[in-house]
Amino acid sequence: MKAGRRKWDMANDNQTPRRPGLREQRRDQLLHDVRQVALRQFGERGYEATTLKEICEEAGISLRTLFRHFRGKDDILASRIADWSRRIPEKLSEQPSDLPLLQAYRIALLATVGDLESDREEVRLTLRLYDEVPGIRGEYLGRAGGHAEDTMSVELAERLDVHLTDPRIRLLRSYITSAVVQAMSDWSRGAVPGDLGTLVDRYLATIDGVPDAITATPWVREEATADTAIAATTPRPGGRSAAR
């Protein structure tokens, strides 16, 4: 276990998780209800044919209330997918630090997939719409991006023992994300036989060697100092600067 993780664990051992207050519980229930209504209507009427007004009428809320929490139809579904994504780093942090990275990630992701098994049809429809509607992908990236940087990148950096800002972390995440998204897309469309967990496991197995290959490649960070920058732009005798 790395020192950074051990310090974090020790600092949090004595902290009792805060229970959500009544207002938060009501808000969470409202978001859940809106998503469920929207998804049902998308499945019955089609995504484009469903209006926000119809969603609000069935959910028993006003458009004004809906817009306090969502930017539109795309955001309603994107927020659901973002919620799923947030579970993965949490489960990854529970895996032993000496496990190979992708093995730990597969366990975390499969545990997340297992949690979604009871909502199989909802998950399938949500992922199919994510695959078909570009706006949902944009909203999802906007919602999930910041959280992913704060959690998944930290986990990957700790497990690879590199700095959080190392560009190789972003490169590794792009490999992992591509494999997982493709598995989910193929599963939701029925393009490849097998359940979601099997496909995710199979697709991640194709990039098993990537973490070692990435960390084996030296990365030198070139940081220009203020003096260097000034020297590069200072005119030399004859009117020419040091920069070419």
The reported pLDDT for the residue numbered 140 is 67
**How far apart, in Å, are the Cα atoms of 81 and each of 76, 84, 90, 114?**
9, 5, 15, 15
Max avg pLDDT among 41-55, 76-90, 108-122: 41-55
pLDDT for position 49 = 94
In terms of residue numbers, what domain contains 51? 21-70
CATH of the domain at 58: 1.10.10.60
Between CA 234 and CA 240 the distance in angstroms is: 8
225 occurs within a structural domain: no
Question: Could you report the per-residue pLDDT of 28-81, keeping only the tens digit for each?
Answer: 899 889 999 999 999 899 999 999 999 999 999 999 999 999 989 988 888 877
Same domain, 158 and 178: yes
Residue 99 pLDDT exceeds 80: yes
Question: What is residue 58's predicted lDDT score, i.e. its pLDDT?
Answer: 95
**Is 61 among the domain residues?**
yes
Are residues 39 and 149 part of one domain? no
DSSP secondary structure, 99-168, as one string: S-HHHHHHHHHHHHHHHTGGGHHHHHHHHHHHHH-HHHHHHHHHHHHHHHHHHHHHHHHHHHT--TT-HH
| pLDDT tens track for 220-243 | 554 444 444 444 444 444 444 444
User: How far is residue 120's CA from residue 114's CA, in Å, rounded to a whole number?
Assistant: 10
Tens of pLDDT, residue by residue over 136-195, are: 776 766 655 544 456 788 888 888 888 888 888 888 888 888 888 888 888 888 888 888
Supply the pLDDT for residue 109. Answer: 84
Q: What mean pLDDT is predicted for residues 191-216?
A: 86
Residue 52: burial class (beta carbons within 10 Å; 0-12, 13-18, 19+): middle
Average pLDDT, the chain: 77
Answer whether residue 127 is part of any domain: yes
What pTM, to 2 d.p., does this model score? Answer: 0.62
Task: Tell me, yes or no, whether 60 and 83 share the same domain.
Answer: no
Residues 66, 82 within the same domain: no
